[in-house]
Structures are given as structure tokens and as C-alpha cells.
Amino acid sequence: MVLRSACAAILITTGLSAYADICRWTDADGFVHYGDRAPPQAEAQCERPPPPSPPPRKLDAYQLERDKADVEAMIERTERDLEDVRRSLVPVSDAQARFESALARARLFRARAGGK
């Protein structure tokens, strides 16, 4: 019983001290100190730490199903877009063949025009 009371007291004081002011002061030798209270002769800068962020909210099954459907729809759109991009790309061998054909026609035109 005493042990249980001691543990409860420790937990309560630990939790309360987490929200205590944090003071920063510099002593006469130029050393910076931190603590929950500054000495009376020190000019301290004290501030309260920000409160802890709230725990993340739990989603219900309906919300999870709706999010899952949204993600699946996004995946389908992305796959369709990817297929459109793949269809619009010209294979390198086709592009190279067209380039070489155009280059041969340009050389023939230059030769007929009397160029080098």
C-alpha cells in the first residue's frame, strides 16, 4: 500500500514538473544554467514549455473505408495516366530510324543542290 502511494506520488509530481517553467540564467562566471527556479540574484528568462500535442484521433470504420476508396481511385487514375504517357512515347528505335531517314534525305538534297 505504501509502495503504491509512493509510486502514485512520483508519477503525479513527474507529470506536474513537466509543465513547470524552465528558467535560463547566466552566473557571474558566464556559465549558462537551466532549472525550474533561478537564484534570486540572477536575472533569469523563464518560459513555460508548450503543452503536449493531442493524441491522433481514431478513425471509425466508415472513414477508413472512404479513405481506402479514395486511395484506390487515385491509384487507378495514376495507372491510366501512366498508360497514356507510355502510349505517347515513341520507341527509341523508331525515332532513330526517322532521324536517319531525314538525314539521308537532307544529304541527298544537298548532293543534288551541288553542295559537299
pTM exceeds 0.75 for this model? no
Q: Where are the domains of the chain?
A: 21-51, 61-112
Nearest to 23 by CA among 32, 11, 12: 32
Distant-in-sequence, close-in-space partners of 42: CB < 8 Å, separation ≥ 6: 25, 26, 27
Distances (CA, A) of 89 to 79, 83, 114: 15, 10, 38
- What are the pLDDT tens digits along the chain (116 aa)? 555 665 555 655 555 445 567 778 787 788 888 777 777 777 667 777 778 888 887 778 778 888 888 889 999 999 998 888 888 876 777 778 888 888 888 888 888 877 55
Question: What phi-psi label fits residue 20: left (phi over 0), alpha (psi between -120 and 50 degrees) or beta?
Answer: beta
Q: Which amino acid is at 30?
A: G
Cα–Cα distance measured from residue 116 to residue 11, given in angstroms and rounded to the nearest whole number: 93
